Structures are given as structure tokens and as C-alpha cells.
Amino acid sequence: MTTLQATLSELHDRLAADRPLAQDLTLAELEVLLAELGQPRYRARQVFHWLHGRLATCWEQMSDLPAALRRELAERLGAVAGEVVADQRAADGTRKLLLRLRDGQQIETVGIPARDGRLTVCVSTQAGCALGCGFCATGEMGLARNLSAGEIVSQVYQFATPHARPEERGVSNVVYMGMGEPLHNYAATLKSVRLLADPLGMGMSERRITISTSGLAPRMRQLAHEGLHVRLAVSLHAPNDAIRSSIMPINRRYPLAEVLAAAREYAAETDRRVSFEYVMLGGVNDAPEHAAELARVLRTALPPALLHVNLIPYNPTAAGFASSSAASIRQFADVLRANGVRVTVRASRGRDIAAACGQLKTETNRANRSTIAALG
């Protein structure tokens, strides 16, 4: 790209960022906008379906809209949330995208295929993260900003099949486990869930959507009363406050007992099982006595039928933590099962493409800085 082309591209991005993103708008909000433009109400349904059902990425694709209306919409709304600046595929089929948003911020999203053909998309909700968990590559970045609802759903659309029927979209599950804390960006997270579930759009079942949190207890309680049917996953990663506070600063504000009480409220109100994510860090939280303590704490907080533990082999980052051995993970799982706790050991995915949250952005930026230094 020439210097002139780069300048024009930057100018285009800056101008586009000044316009609201079309995918941010609900059907009701589009109806208001189209009414302001003197258009009949059904036009809003057409636009919404093009954006969220047929996954259009430019106004020219909306062939059943009048050309004049398309021009008006293009002047008022941006149609593309971001561009792919890196696309990596692992040997196991995992695919990771680095997206540059309209204001230059970069986020990651991952597509994780299953053997049965299902595809889970892991989305980011923030550019960076403010919580600073010691083992997480995203924690190195700090928080740049929250993402909008449209920027969240557009990550899913990167992996979906345009113009297909809902059952043929190609995306079966969505997990809010990428960069950022979803409940720290509460309003946009919930709005994005409702956009994904809208029958005029992708029509995704809320039961196939999982929202993860590091333990923002007040927001967990609030989520319990939203009338949604999403799954809740709590990133626990420790059986007690001492270990959890050492690796997750958020625990000093919302200690384990408060987080588990909020999880209990969510399970009781929604009658949905809560998953507890537990990343296995060698020599930190992976001893058999940690497993016994975890089982005791969880079974005190929730009925066994309403809890499940996912053990996650650690994808090493520059943070300096080591992965637990396969034998340690098996033993940990065995102790949990012996104590009546259901447990799944997650398969490690995408290690050969830096698939842990924040790794691709961090490594890409380091490579860019090295290249600039070499050229300078």
C-alpha cells in the first residue's frame, strides 16, 4: 500500500467511525430511523433482515431497497464493523481472526469446530480488558474501550454463511469468552444476545449462547432477572480467596463467597446449570487438595445438579505461568468426580496459532514493532 493509499484508507476509517454502525440498531430503532426518512415501516424489516439475516456487508447488496434509500442509509450509517487483518488456522481446524475496527482498535474472535460439524464462535466484548488477570494475555493490554452490540455480533457473522436459512448458518453456538469482561460491558452484551436471537436475523437459540464472567457479582444477579435463557459460565480458577486474589484482582472486590452466592441466585432464578471454568496452572491451583477444596466449596454453594466444572489446559502466554501436566489434570478431575462434582476436561485447541485470548493481537503488534524497528 502506498503512502497516499494508506492516508486515504485512514481518512475513510475516521469518517466511517463518525457514523453509527448499522448492526447496532434493533428493529425498533430502525423503524424510528426509516420513519424519519419518510419510509414505510416494512422497510425497517427489510434492512434488519439484510444486516442480521442475510449478513450484508454493504448497502449495494440490498437489492430490494430503492437506490435513493440505499444512498441515504450509507450517508447515515456504517455497514461494516471491521476488517480482517490476520487470519490463522490451526491444524485442529480452529480459526482465529484479528479484526481492526473502524477507529483502529483491534480485537480477536475464534471459530472452534467440533467433530460433529458444529461450530462455536468465541467473541470479544471489549478492546482489551481492565481486570488484569495474571495469566491472561489480554490483561497485559488494559482496557481501550467497550465494543458496541453491532461490533460483537459482527464477529459471529464473520463465520456464518450469508443468505442461508437459520439451520444452515454454520454457527451452532456462541460463547462470550474472548477479549474483555462481558458483564463489564453489560448493556451492549445483552443487546447483542437479543440481536443474535432475533428470528428476523440469525434466530439463534439463547440456550446455545454462553456468557462468561470473571465474577462481577452484582451483574450476575442482574442477569438472573433479565428473562434470558443464556448459559452462565463463571471463571473461577481457584478453590479459595488466597489463590484467586493472587491471580485475579477482581476477587479482592468480589470474593469467592459473594461470587458463588450470585451464581446460586442465577441457577435458582433461571433453573439453568452454571458452569465453572478452571484453568489449570502448574504448581498454582492444580494439586489434589485444591480439587477436594473446590468440590467442597461448590457443593456447599449449589446443588450438584446445577453445577459443572470445565477444566481448561492452560495455553501458555508471556505471563510466565506453566501448564499443568496431563496426569495432574486427570487426577484433579478424578478427585472432583469422587466428590460428586460433574467435570469435563476441555481439549486444548489452537495452540499452534496463539489461540489464547489476546495472543494474536499481542504477537502481531510485537512483530509489527520489530519490523518498524528493523526498517528504521
Q: Which residues are catalytic?
A: 108, 357
Q: Are the CB atoms for 155 and 124 separated by under 8 Å? A: yes
Q: CA 345, 112, 198, 223: dihedral to nearest 10 degrees? A: 40
Question: How buried is 66 (Cβ within 10 angstroms: 0-12 exposed, 13-18 middle, 19+ buried)?
Answer: exposed
Helices 256-270 and 288-301: angle between axes, nearest 10 degrees: 50
Concatenate the DSSP letters of all residues of 131-188 into one string. S--TT-SGGGT-EEEEPPHHHHHHHHHTTSPTT--GGGSS--EEEE-SSS-GGGGHHH
Rounded Cα–Cα distance for residues 137 and 235 (Å): 15
- Chain position carrying cell 488456522: 89
Q: Which three cell numbers stand for residue 37?
A: 426518512
Q: Which amino acid, one-letter code, is at 145?
A: R
Q: In the Cβ-directed half-sphere of 292, how many Cα atoms lie within 13 Å?
A: 3
* Separation of alpha carbons 365 and 85, rounded Å: 11
| Residue appearing with cell numbers 477507529 | 103
Spatial CB neighbours of 335, under 8 Å, sequence gap ≥ 6: 288, 291, 292, 295
How far CA 75 is from CA of 15, 19, 68, 71, 241, in Å, comes to 10, 8, 11, 6, 53
Residue 324 class from Cβ within 10 Å (0-12 exposed, 13-18 middle, 19+ buried)?
A: buried
Q: What cell does 129 get?
A: 480488558
Q: How far is CA 360 from CA 60, 257, 342, 352, in A?
A: 33, 34, 33, 11
* Start-to-end C-alpha separation, the chain: 18
Residue with cell 443468505: 163
